[in-house]
Amino acid sequence: MNDLRADTATSESPAPSGHTSPCDQAPNARPILSARHISKSFGDIQVLFGIDFDVHPGEVHALIGENGAGKSTLMKILSGYHQPTSGKLLLDAKEITLPPDGLAEALGVVLIHQEFNLAEQLSVEENIFLGRELRKGWFIDHAAMRRETENYLRQLKVDLAPDAIVADLSVSQKQFVEIARALSRQARVLIMDEPTAVLTPDETTAFFEQIHLMRERGVGIVLISHKLDEVKELANRVTVLRDGHPIISTAADELSEDDMARHMVGRDLSDMFPPKHEPDVDTPNVLSVKNLSVGATLQNVSFDLKKGEILGFAGLIGSGRSALFETIIGLRQRTAGSTRLSGDLIELTALEQARDHGIAYLTKDRKGQGLLLSDGLKINLTLFALSQFSKKGLIDDKLEEEALDRAIRRFDIRVRDRSVPVGALSGGNQQKLLLGKVLEIDPDILIVDEPTRGIDVGTKQQIYNFIAALAAEGKSIVLISSEMPEIIGMSHRVAVMRSGHLTGILSGDEIEEHEIMRYATGLKGEGAKAAHGEIDIHAENAS
Give the C-alpha separation, 541 to 543, whole Å. 6
The pLDDT tens digits of the residues spanning 109-118 come to 999 877 677 8
Domain layout of the chain by residue ranges: 1-15+25-105+228-267, 285-358+443-542, 374-437
| Mean pLDDT, range 330-336, rounded to an integer | 94
pLDDT for 270 equals 66
The pLDDT tens digits of the residues spanning 56-92 come to 999 999 999 887 788 989 999 999 989 999 999 999 9
Cα of 318 vs its chain's centroid, Å: 17
User: Confidence class of residue 532 from pLDDT cuts 50, 70 and 90?
Assistant: very low
The pLDDT tens digits of the residues spanning 502-524 come to 999 999 999 998 899 889 888 88
C-beta of residue 44 within 8 angstroms of C-beta of residue 274:
no
pLDDT for 2 equals 37
| Mean pLDDT, range 247-254, rounded to an integer | 94
Q: How many CB atoms lie within 10 A of CB 41?
A: 14
pLDDT for 7 equals 38
Residue 35, CA atoms < 13 Å, CB-side half-sphere = 29
List alpha helices for 164-285, DSSP H: 171-184, 201-216, 228-234, 257-265
More confident residue, 172 or 221: 221
If DSSP codes are grouped into helix, strand and coil, which group holds residue 520? Answer: helix
pLDDT for 146 equals 93
CATH architecture of 1-15+25-105+228-267: 3-Layer(aba) Sandwich (3.40)
Q: Do domains 1-15+25-105+228-267 and 285-358+443-542 have the same CATH topology?
A: yes
User: Confidence class of residue 10 from pLDDT cuts 50, 70 and 90?
Assistant: very low
Give the fold, CATH level 3, of 285-358+443-542. Rossmann fold (3.40.50)
pLDDT for 414 equals 87
More confident residue, 117 or 290: 290
